[in-house]
Amino acid sequence: MRTRLTELLGIDAPIICGGMMRVGTADLAAAVSNAGALGVMTALTQKTAEGLEAEIARCQQMTDRPFGVNLTVGVVASPINYDQYVDVIVNSGVTIVETAGRSPEPFMERLKAAGIKVIHKCTTVRHALAAERLGVDVISIDGFECAGHPGEEDIPGLVLFPAAARALKVPVVASGGIADGQGLVAALALGCDGINMGTRFMATQEAPIHHNIKQKIVEMNETQTQIIFRSFRNTARVYRNSVSQKVAEIEAAGGKFEDVHAYVSGTNQEKAWFTGDIEAGMVTAGMSGAFVDDIPTCAELVRSLIADAEDIIRGRLARYADAS
């Protein structure tokens, strides 16, 4: 299945496992890349630039396929020396970077001078156009269904994906609400060149989170996420649990971020991810959990997703074309 995305990035399948805090380790990135898709490590999962350097080296030992490094700017409260992380990425030989959060402008000159292809994640067409003007190579556009931060404009993928594809010249990757072959076919039909999946890759054998969390994703339906942080202009989509409901109650009563911080702290998030206690902290998850039915290896997932997409294109959709 060849698209502009596969040609540009040197991958076999038009699928990206986007950066995920605490989840995007060398283990998951290498497994996804070895499966023929694009695995992405998350720089800030490593607490220091030196830690990132070691993690990149570990990933390079596990795969000879292209993989990327995610650098998300402006979502962590503690001060971060992003220049040090960029220096590590540039010097490591990594060829693909996924930027997110704020504009990638401060880093573009160094990244492009090193020959690095830049994928920028955004939630609106206007931000995508601005990033294209800066010289990014790919736009990953997040619909309202996505996990994490879907922006403040609440535009679902069915509208946002084709709107971005129509407006942009660079390849567009559909992100949010996709977890299977049907989602891939839909994204291609809407003008995109590939898909980004996070929640679906969380429920794989190689994802470095507790099995209980993966099983909760398998058990999800389309109603089991919740929007929080809307009153702080930092909207987030998370798994609906006692923590998210408490945060929503505090926000509805006019509370400030400091009133909810104890509930959503990084320490509590790590406790949930790694002990398997879904009620221990905030757990990021997208609506696509409704389409997750098993916990395969990354290789099995990519293989089955491509096979299902091809079956839909050659079977169901071909029958419609023949009928005309």
| Domain CATH for 53 | 3.20.20.70
Q: Indicate the pLDDT class of residue 79, thresholds 50, 70 and 90.
A: confident
Residue 320 in any domain: the answer is no
In tens, the pLDDT along 162-177 reads: 999 999 999 999 999 9
The residue-averaged pLDDT of 204-218 equals 97
pLDDT at 196: 98
Residue 203 in any domain: the answer is yes
Cα–Cα distances in angstroms (integers) from residue 181 to residues 8, 104, 187, 197, 307, in the given order: 22, 31, 10, 12, 8
In tens, the pLDDT along 83-96 reads: 999 999 999 999 99
Residue 165 in any domain: the answer is yes
How far is it, in rounded angstroms, from Cα 84 to Cα 64? Answer: 25
**Residue range(s) defining the domain that contains residue 249:** 225-284
pLDDT at 219: 98
Q: Are residues 104 and 10 in the same domain?
A: yes
Q: Are residues 235 and 191 in the same domain?
A: no
Residue 289 in any domain: the answer is no
Which tokens hold the place of 178? Answer: 């996709």
Tell whether the torsion through CA atoms of 40, 43, 47 and 53 is positive or negative. positive
Residue 260 in any domain: the answer is yes
| 194-197/172-175 β-pairing | parallel
Q: Are residues 174 and 47 in the same domain?
A: yes
Does 77 score more than 90 pLDDT?
A: no
pTM here? 0.96
Burial class (CB in 10 A: 0-12, 13-18, 19+), 25: buried
pLDDT at 291: 98
Q: Which of 211, 258, 219 is nearest to 239 (CA)?
A: 219
Least confident of 141-150, 203-212, 311-320: 311-320
User: What are the beta bridge partners of residue 15?
Assistant: 195
Domain tally, the chain: 2
Cα–Cα distances in angstroms (integers) from residue 112 to residues 10, 60, 109, 201, 309, in the given order: 17, 21, 5, 29, 34
Q: Are residues 265 and 131 in the same domain?
A: no
Q: Are residues 96 and 202 in the same domain?
A: yes
Q: Are residues 134 and 246 in the same domain?
A: no
**pLDDT, averaged across the chain:** 95
Q: Are residues 263 and 142 in the same domain?
A: no
Q: Are residues 229 and 271 in the same domain?
A: yes
Q: Are residues 203 and 232 in the same domain?
A: no
C-beta of residue 164 within 8 angstroms of C-beta of residue 126: no
The residue-averaged pLDDT of 113-120 equals 98
Residue 74 in any domain: the answer is yes
Which tops the pLDDT comparison, 18 or 64? 64
Q: Are residues 231 and 147 in the same domain?
A: no
pLDDT at 320: 84
Does residue 234 sit in helix, strand or coil?
A: coil
Does residue 70 sit in helix, strand or coil?
A: strand
Q: Indicate the pLDDT class of residue 323, thresholds 50, 70 and 90.
A: low
Q: Are residues 105 and 229 in the same domain?
A: no
Does residue 14 sit in helix, strand or coil?
A: coil
Residue 305 in any domain: the answer is no
Q: Are residues 171 and 246 in the same domain?
A: no
Residue 69: phi and psi, rounded to 5, are -125, 130
pLDDT at 74: 75
Which tokens hold the place of 47? Answer: 């607490």
Q: Which of 184, 280, 284 is nearest to 229 (CA)?
A: 284
Residue 80: phi and psi, rounded to 5, are -130, 135
Strands (DSSP E) contained in 176-307 are 194-197, 225-228, 236-239
